[in-house]
């Protein structure tokens, strides 16, 4: 149960990220956790452990085998992120291990299994502290079992993935891997090499406030204008009405007064052409508002976050095949599907580090009902070890 205890220790750190601070890492708890992790990596015997001022951790497990004459063993990497989603509280997590039948929100397929849950006042943090626990436990196992031959392995832990900034200061050259895997997927078996194209959008609406008794033809209520923008978007192109490869507009925040209102959206689509269309559609709606209410009434800012990694992974599909074979070897049925989200691996793939995504094992991410089946946690660790064994 070492991996379980390790995970339970990790979730005791509050590492919720915050896109509004303008700092990296965006919250102090992430750096506190990073310092703990760096110390732990040194303690278990990893080399070249570094923690930079932005909260990025890198470390090395050196090769213990000699390559065949004329060959070079690829350097493989494993990556996970330290932050948890702002969608639910990650403070004072009270985690415990229960049987699946003790919680009615746990999928029946996990019947009889030990499940790590919270008291439902916070999220759990399996996204992605499960991934970190799996990587660290696998590295410790390899150190303790030198009879398992492997090439050089690099590990990296990043801050702020949940707010789309996890790869902002990741030094791909310094990492020095030929390819890597993010341990950041969901349920057991997930293996992903394509994801949404993603952007964030802020629309600021400027109003004019006067006394309501004398407001006739004078007042401009920014909240009502913002609502007008929101309802002009397609009603059924939202997360709750889409699945598979279907994209969406997702209103994630509204904050306003009569004087000024801000709408915060995320834009997602697997198809790059449709993704660009969605951005243009929001810009078009803002222009319509300004035509109706006057130039400068609404302002829009769109920032691309990451792109579909598929185009970067397809030329090196052997790394996906490797992960698939490793899963089968440890008794896990691979479930290859597109990510309805994104990972650090998406951006890193575009920066020259091909980086498919492997399950971390959790369910109901970003929710107070998040949970982590213990067998899934253990199997993810086994997959890492099997991949390492197969890289020659």
Q: Which residues are catalytic?
A: 83, 161
CA angle 170, 269, 82 (to 5 degrees): 30
Helix (H) or strand (E) holding 300: strand 298-306
* Contact (CB, 8 A) for 193 and 321: no
Neighbouring C-beta atoms of residue 280, cutoff 10 Å: 10
Report how far residue 373's alpha carbon sits from residue 113's, in angstroms, rounded to the nearest whole number.
Answer: 7
* Contact (CB, 8 A) for 308 and 272: yes
Question: Per DSSP, what are the bridge partners of residue 303?
Answer: 200
Buried b (16+ CB within 10 A) or exposed e, 67-103: eeeeeebbbbbbbbbbbbbbebbbeebebeeeebeee
Distance of CA 294 to the CA centre of its chain: 40
Burial class, 193, CB count within 10 angstroms (exposed 0-12 / middle 13-18 / buried 19+): buried
Pairing of strands 190-192, 260-269: unpaired
Report how far residue 15's alpha carbon sits from residue 129's, in angstroms, rounded to the nearest whole number.
Answer: 10
Which position has the token pair 């660790």?
381
Pairing of strands 190-192, 335-336: parallel
Which two structure tokens, joined as six digits, stand for 144?
């303790």
CA proximity to 5, closest of 93, 112, 110, 116: 116
CA proximity to 233, closest of 204, 205, 267: 267
């Amino acid at each position: 149960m070492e991996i379980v205890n390790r995970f339970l220790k990790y979730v005791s750190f509050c590492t919720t990220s915050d896109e509004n601070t303008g700092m990296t890492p965006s919250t102090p708890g992430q750096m506190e956790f990073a310092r703990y992790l760096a110390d732990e990596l040194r303690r278990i015997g990893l080399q070249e452990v570094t923690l930079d001022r932005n909260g990025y951790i890198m470390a090395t497990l050196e090769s213990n085998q000699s390559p065949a004459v004329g060959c070079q063993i690829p350097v493989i990497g494993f990556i996970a992120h330290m932050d948890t989603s702002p969608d639910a509280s990650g403070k004072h997590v009270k985690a415990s291990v229960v049987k699946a039948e003790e919680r009615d929100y746990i999928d029946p397929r996990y019947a009889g299994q030990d499940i790590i849950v919270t008291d439902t006042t916070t999220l759990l943090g399996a996204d992605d502290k499960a991934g970190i626990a799996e990587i660290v436990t696998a590295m410790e196992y390899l150190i303790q079992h030198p009879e398992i031959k492997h090439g050089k392995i690099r590990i990296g832990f990043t801050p702020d993935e949940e707010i789309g900034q996890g790869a902002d200061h990741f030094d791909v050259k310094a990492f020095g891997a030929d390819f890597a895997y993010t341990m950041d997927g969901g349920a057991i078996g997930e293996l992903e090499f394509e994801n949404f194209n993603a952007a964030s959008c802020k629309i600021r609406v400027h109003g004019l406030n006067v006394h309501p008794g004398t407001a006739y033809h004078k007042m401009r209520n920014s909240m009502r204008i913002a609502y007008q923008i929101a309802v002009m978007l397609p009603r059924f192109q939202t997360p709750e009405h889409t699945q598979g490869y279907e994209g969406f507009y997702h209103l994630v925040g509204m904050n306003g007064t009569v004087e000024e209102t801000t709408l915060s959206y995320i834009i997602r689509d697997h198809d790059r052409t449709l993704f660009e269309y969605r951005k243009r559609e929001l810009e078009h709606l803002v222009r319509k508002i300004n035509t109706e209410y006057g130039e400068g009434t609404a302002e829009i800012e769109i920032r691309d976050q990451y792109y579909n990694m598929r185009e970067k992974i397809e030329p090196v599909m052997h790394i996906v095949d490797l992960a698939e074979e490793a899963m089968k070897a440890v008794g896990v049925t691979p479930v290859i599907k597109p990510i309805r989200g994104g990972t650090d691996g998406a951006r890193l793939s575009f920066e020259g580090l091909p980086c498919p995504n492997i399950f971390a094992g959790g369910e109901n991410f970003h929710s107070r009902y998040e949970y982590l089946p213990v067998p899934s946690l253990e199997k993810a660790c086994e997959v890492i070890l099997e991949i390492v064994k197969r890289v020659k």
